[in-house]
Amino acid sequence: MATAVIETGERETYLNREYGIKSWLLTVDHKRIALLYLIGVTFFFFVGGFFALLVRLELLTPAGDLVQADTYNKLFTMHGQVMVFFFLIPVIPAVLGNFLIPIMIGAKDLAFPRINLLSWYLYVIGGCLMAYTILAGGVDTGWTFYTPLSTEFLKTNVITAALAVFVSGFSSIFTGLNFIVTIHRMRAPGMTWNRLPLFVWAHYATSIIQVLGTPVVAIAIVLVALERLFHLGIFNPALGGDPLLFQHLFWFYSHPAVYIMILPGMGIVSEIVCCFSRKRVFGYQAMAMAVLGIAVVGFLVWAHHMFVAGISLYAALIFSLLSYFVAVPSAIKVFNWTATMYKGSITYQTPMIYAFGFIGLFTIGGLTGLFLACLGVDVHVTDTYFVVAHFHYIMVGGTIMAYMGGMHFWWPKISGKLYPEFWGKLSAMIVFIGFNLTFFPQFILGYMGMPRRYWDYSKAPEYQILNVLSTAGASVLAVGYLMPMIYFLWSMRYGKPAPDNPWNAAGLEWMIPSPPSTFNFDEQPVVTWEAYNYDEIKGEVPVAQ
């Protein structure tokens, strides 16, 4: 397959082709760019996670006794901004999507490699602006930047935070644009739409959202910054403006954004469940249409974040109804994954453990979304910890579990090394336990009435016990996330070399060496098989790792 060699006689791979910092910072190889993103998102994950730990520590006791009120407000704001814009939105598309999509469709690179590098630089610049915001004293608008608080009343670094989000938004837009063009125009001969891996379908749907939605939050943020700079009145009632206009513009993107965060994860889960059940997916067409359906209908539900904000009764009814529509394709996917396991030949390697975790936790998270779409219930639980629990179930129990599963699944391909399976399984279980302990109590807290973004709850000490459970869980969760950091790094040096296809999995990425050579394929593949052709693939998942 790959016959090129470098001077030392080793096979040429994308990692050893060139050394030196310039070869990385000026690379146009989608695989190297994926690793550059990996460094960035991992860094921001730990920054955002650190803020979360401080928040949870403060909430151990009802009184605000760890940090001051303003500091606490900055902590939860920056936890949200860093995690949403610098981790969750880019993580799967920019790391795994970048690495795998060209290979999965039989191409040598994305359609626009230089724009891919530009995307990374935009991410870094946005990240630097965010870092500056943090170091210059932070920002305390809440990740949602609601006006007129953010435009008229706060004295913190709102404009630099807005700029950081604005710039990173363009990173997201260009990545989405690149993926759409790549998937349309760069598929190898024989790779028809109906043969695409569901990972690719998921990223295609995600990219549509990125391209259509992100510009709207960009302009909303720009208007906030302008309003702050020049004391305009676009969102200020004292000058004739309307704070709800900001909320509409903000949520028009930020609701579809949550689908940017979850759809790629669903793509990963499809790949893993099929491989570790040795089966084609149940209902390929339904699965592909479901991700498109989620992407489209996801644009029609944004005001379900505003049921008590002062919108009209009739608007609320319509958005509640549409929110129930968007729940259907998600439910279909859970049923299809379960059905894929039926009469499979299942093994329990680490990626599959994470996939199980995803299915369970996404089910709970998604079901609690039904609670929130229900108008009568939402009035009570919106702006409480019930919502916090809901979205963490989806984003952490869903997206991050899927990401971890994907990283373990494709790590041999990316690094050429095997991670230690025992530690992989152990971390997965620690994460699962820590996660549920952290966030399940928050559903109860929310229904009891504990509002979000509260630094001090000393007038309501009945909330303490559940907060203590939640903080305990967070510390367990932190351990679960630190472990893969350590053993992935360890494996790069000491891990066993990975074969081309350690899982006997289907897909073009498993037909090339681990790690891949720079141009992926020596010759352009011609695809003659269906996706998930596990009936043709001989052998099971190897047990020995």
**Residues 436-465 interacting with another protein (rule: CB under 8 A):** 444, 447-449, 451-457, 459-460
DSSP state for residue 497 in the 8-state scheme? B
- d(CA 74, CA 93) in angstroms, rounded, equals 28
Instruction: Provide the CA 185 distance to its chain's centre, in angstroms.
Output: 26
CB of 480 to another protein, least distance (A): 21
- d(CA 491, CA 363) in angstroms, rounded, equals 33
Footprint (CB under 8 A) of another protein, residues 358-377: 359-360, 363-364, 367-368, 370-371, 373-377
- Whichever of 271 and 378 has its CB closer to another protein, that residue is 378
Footprint (CB under 8 A) of another protein, residues 17-56: none
DSSP state for residue 294 in the 8-state scheme? H
The amino acid occupying position 406 is G
- Whichever of 280 and 496 has its CB closer to another protein, that residue is 280
DSSP state for residue 303 in the 8-state scheme? G
What is each CA distance from 380 to 307, 309, 448, in whole angstroms? 11, 13, 9
Residue 4 in contact with another protein, rule: CB under 8 A: no
- Whichever of 227 and 488 has its CB closer to another protein, that residue is 227
Is residue 363 within 8 Å of residue 436, measured between CB atoms? no
Token pair for residue 381?
A: 């639980």
- Whichever of 456 and 482 has its CB closer to another protein, that residue is 456
CB of 432 to another protein, least distance (A): 13
CB of 188 to another protein, least distance (A): 8
Using the Cα atoms of residue 393, residue 394, residue 397 and residue 400 in order, give the sign of their dihedral. Answer: negative
- Contact map string, positions 80 to 99, toward another protein, x by CB under 8 A: --------------------
Is residue 404 within 8 Å of residue 431, measured between CB atoms? yes
Selected range binding another protein among 18-26, 205-213, 418-426, 476-484, rule: CB under 8 A: 205-213
CB of 488 to another protein, least distance (A): 26
DSSP state for residue 384 in the 8-state scheme? B
Interface pick for another protein out of 43, 50, 53, 383 (rule CB under 8 A): 383
Residue indicated by tokens 């350590």: 486
Interface pick for another protein out of 2, 12, 64, 469 (rule CB under 8 A): 64
Interface pick for another protein out of 338, 422, 486, 542 (rule CB under 8 A): 338
DSSP H helices in 237-312? 243-277, 284-297
| Among 28, 132, 140, 35, residue whose Cα is nearest residue 81 | 140
- Whichever of 168 and 491 has its CB closer to another protein, that residue is 168
Interface pick for another protein out of 42, 142, 228, 469 (rule CB under 8 A): 142
CB of 373 to another protein, least distance (A): 7
- Whichever of 437 and 478 has its CB closer to another protein, that residue is 437
Is residue 202 within 8 Å of residue 540, measured between CB atoms? no
**Residues touching another protein, count (CB under 8 A):** 150
Residue 321 in contact with another protein, rule: CB under 8 A: yes
Interface pick for another protein out of 224, 466, 474, 477 (rule CB under 8 A): 466
Interface pick for another protein out of 66, 131, 429, 511 (rule CB under 8 A): 511
- Whichever of 140 and 271 has its CB closer to another protein, that residue is 140
Q: At what angle do helices 243-277 and 350-373 cross, to 10 degrees?
A: 150
Residue 285 in contact with another protein, rule: CB under 8 A: yes
DSSP state for residue 166 in the 8-state scheme? H
Residue 166 in contact with another protein, rule: CB under 8 A: no
CB of 3 to another protein, least distance (A): 14
What is each CA distance from 391 to 66, 84, 94, 258, 383, in whole angstroms? 26, 11, 22, 9, 12
CB of 47 to another protein, least distance (A): 21
Interface pick for another protein out of 5, 6, 26, 317 (rule CB under 8 A): 317
Residues contacting residue 389 through CB under 8 Å, at least 6 positions apart: 368, 439, 440, 442, 443, 445, 446
Residue 378 in contact with another protein, rule: CB under 8 A: yes
CB of 459 to another protein, least distance (A): 5
HEC readout, 414-432: HHCECCCHHHHHHHHHHHH
CA angle 294, 299, 304 (to 5 degrees): 100
Residue 420 in contact with another protein, rule: CB under 8 A: no
CB of 110 to another protein, least distance (A): 8
Selected range binding another protein among 37-45, 62-70, 131-139, 263-271, rule: CB under 8 A: 62-70
- d(CA 196, CA 202) in angstroms, rounded, equals 10
Residue 192 in contact with another protein, rule: CB under 8 A: no
Token pair for residue 28?
A: 């146009």
Instruction: List phi, psi (to 5°) of 431.
Output: -60, -45
First vs last Cα of the chain: how many Å apart? Answer: 24
Footprint (CB under 8 A) of another protein, residues 220-279: 220, 222-223, 226-227, 230-234, 237-245, 249, 277-279
Residue 194 in contact with another protein, rule: CB under 8 A: no
Interface pick for another protein out of 131, 292, 327, 476 (rule CB under 8 A): 327
Residue 517 in contact with another protein, rule: CB under 8 A: no
- Whichever of 374 and 482 has its CB closer to another protein, that residue is 374
Residue 218 in contact with another protein, rule: CB under 8 A: yes
- d(CA 413, CA 411) in angstroms, rounded, equals 5
